[in-house]
Amino acid sequence: MKKRWLCTAAVTILMMAVLAGCGQKEVTQDFYAMDTAMNIRAYGSNAQDAVNQCVRYINQLEQDISRTREDSDIYALNHAQGDWVELSEQTTDVLEQALRLAEETEGCFDPTIAPLSDLWGIGTEDARIPAQAEIDTALELVNYQNLQMNGTSAALPEGACIDLGGIGKGYAADQVAQILRDAGVERAVITLGGNIYVLGEKEDGVPWTIGITDPDSAGDYFATLQVSDTSVVTSGDYERYFEQDGERYCHIFDPETGWPAQTDLRSVTVVSECSTDADAYTTALFVMGSERAMEFCEAHDIEAVFVKTDHVVHVTEGLRDKFSLTSSEYTYEE
Amino acid sequence: MKNKIPLKLGDFALFAVIIALACGVWIRLALMQTEQTYGEIVVDGTLYREIKLGGTEQETITLEGRTGEVTIEIDGDRMRFVSSQCPDHTCERTGWISRVGQSAVCLPNRVMIKITGINQDGVDAVAQ
């Protein structure tokens, strides 16, 4: 009799295990932070708590590094008129990363670009082509080397302005991925305003499929990447722009000229385990133009996908077996 | 040594339960693999409506966002922002979406449309 009950119990437990394994619990949350739409999709028993923790974290990060919130560290730094400002450890960390990436990209990514982007107003109703004199004046304030740092204090020349929008989402993605890992979440897709971070694999042995936006049709994608445990970030001229006399002016500025970057590139996608790096690199590579950008990738071991204005797509060596073109409008060149 | 336990009614009941559960799992898996897409409208982070796509569905949905009226069109297997009272109109420029993983958003109004479900050429996310 005892045996029979043992047998029943064993079968029941087995069945429950089978049912439980058939689709891990999915938690998906849409929210808005850092002026963009975000989504975190996580799987596993602890997913809901972990996702809530991520949302709280991002809100708190925004409070530190937002340029527009009057209680933020960055707001204080931008309005200190040259005085030293004490920052939180987190703000200091983001600023240090921004400086490191500005140096590494020879200023093609520059966190002090704000006076220029404000002047042009691209993405707002007031977008316009400023007079060259205005551009020259704004350019004098743009130079990451003007930012002085000493421990957790920083100072900026009067009129200069830090905007961490260029790496903020990447930084947030890295931190969120770590929060999820620490909470025991093994599979997740983090989308922070178009910056993607995938955790783990989609299924055992199956990577995630990430689309890359078609610069000609922003709702669609022209290619896919099969990746796991990494970040995928894209920058392009289709995100925010305005057009005048048949010319497109995009939101990515060349810190050298003070004009929107006009190169032979439509978009750059970087795949990296560090989303902060990927975020800054996409901007910098876009500004560089394809030739210099490809050399830069080679020299710095960066994996990237370039879409050129002539619809030719270049993919760095490490990504070629992960990349598939899905649109016939583009041609692939190794 | 013989070790035969005669089967009783309870055993058959147990087998029936096991078979029923197995069928349940199979049906669930089969359903998961069927190609079916849905258009989701998410307002301020909360699901506002989910529309089954792929049929001959034609619908125009108007709703109130943060900065004004937003109009969304459903057309068979695709959806798009038709118009939006917002400063940038980025959402209108995004155009039609139809493949799983695609989305479009009107940031000022905090309205998002996205395709969910399963289709062959769908993706898990799109880098924008």
Mean pLDDT for A193-204 is 95
Read off the pLDDT band of A114 (50, 70, 90): very high
Of B71, B88, B69, the closest CA to residue B79 belongs to B71
Please give the DSSP secondary-structure letter assigned to residue A257. T
* Chain A hits for B90, Cβ within 8 Å: 240
B3 pLDDT band, cuts 50/70/90, is low
Residue B19 lies in a domain: no
Q: Does A30 contact B45 at a Cβ distance shorter than 8 Å?
A: yes
Q: Do B123 and A196 touch (CB under 8 A)?
A: no
Q: Contact A99/A144 with Cβ under 8 angstroms?
A: yes
User: Which residue range forms the structural domain that includes residue B105?
Assistant: 37-118
Rounded to an integer, what distance in angstroms lies between the CA atom of residue A109 and that of residue A101? 7
Q: What is the pLDDT of residues A121-142, one digit of tens each?
A: 988 888 999 999 999 999 999 9
The reply to whether B32 falls in a domain is no
Phi, psi of A123, deg, nearest 5: 95, -5
* Chain B CB contacts of A213 below 8 Å: 126-128
In a domain, B109, yes or no: yes
Mean pLDDT of B75-81: 95
pLDDT of residue A15: 60
**CB contact set of A327 (below 8 Å; sequence gap of 6+):** A214, A220, A221, A222, A223
Strand A241-244 relative to strand A312-315, pairing: unpaired
**CB < 8 Å from B in window 141-200 of A:** 189, 191, 193-196, 198
Q: How many domains does chain B have?
A: 1
The pLDDT value recorded for residue A123 is 81
Asked whether residue B4 is domain-assigned, the answer is no
Calculate the alpha carbon distances from B128 to A106, A302, B62, B81 in Å: 25, 19, 26, 18
Structure confidence by residue, pLDDT tens digits, A161-198: 999 999 999 999 999 999 999 999 999 999 999 999 99
**What are the CA-CA distances from residue A6 to residues A3, A66, A267 (Å)?**
5, 61, 62
The answer to whether residue B66 is domain-embedded is yes
* Contact assignment for B94 to A219 by CB distance below 8 Å: yes
* Torsion A174-A180-A181-A187 (CA) sign: negative
A242-248 contact pairs (CB < 8 A, 24+)? A242/A122, A242/A127, A244/A129
CA distance A248 to A261: 10
Q: What ipTM score was computed for the predicted complex, to two decimals?
A: 0.90
Here the CATH number for the domain that contains residue B74 is 2.60.320.10
CA distance A267 to A252: 11
Query: What CATH number was assigned to the domain covering residues A201-334?
Result: 3.10.520.10
CB contacts under 8 A, B 38-97 vs A, are 42, 44-46, 80, 87-88, 90, 93-97
* Inside any domain, residue B58: yes
The beta-carbon neighbor of B101 closest among A23, A31, A211 is A211
Question: Touching check for A31 and chain B: CB below 8 Å?
Answer: yes
B123: in domain: no
Residues of A in contact with B42 (CB under 8 A): 30
Nearest CA in chain B to A122: B88
Task: Decide if B124 is inside a domain.
Answer: no
Reported as a pLDDT band with limits 50, 70 and 90, residue A225 is very high
pLDDT band with cut points at 50, 70 and 90 for residue B33? low
Q: Which of A11, A123, A220 sits opposite B14 (nearest CB)?
A: A11
Q: Domain limits of chain A? A: 201-334
Give tens-digit pLDDT for A95-110: 999 999 999 999 999 9
CB contact under 8 A, A218 and B93: yes
Q: What is the pLDDT of residue A2?
A: 62
For residue B74, the surrounding DSSP H or E stretch is: strand B69-75
d(CA A149, CA A129): 34
B57 with B64: CB under 8 angstroms?
no
Q: What pLDDT was estimated at residue B18?
A: 85
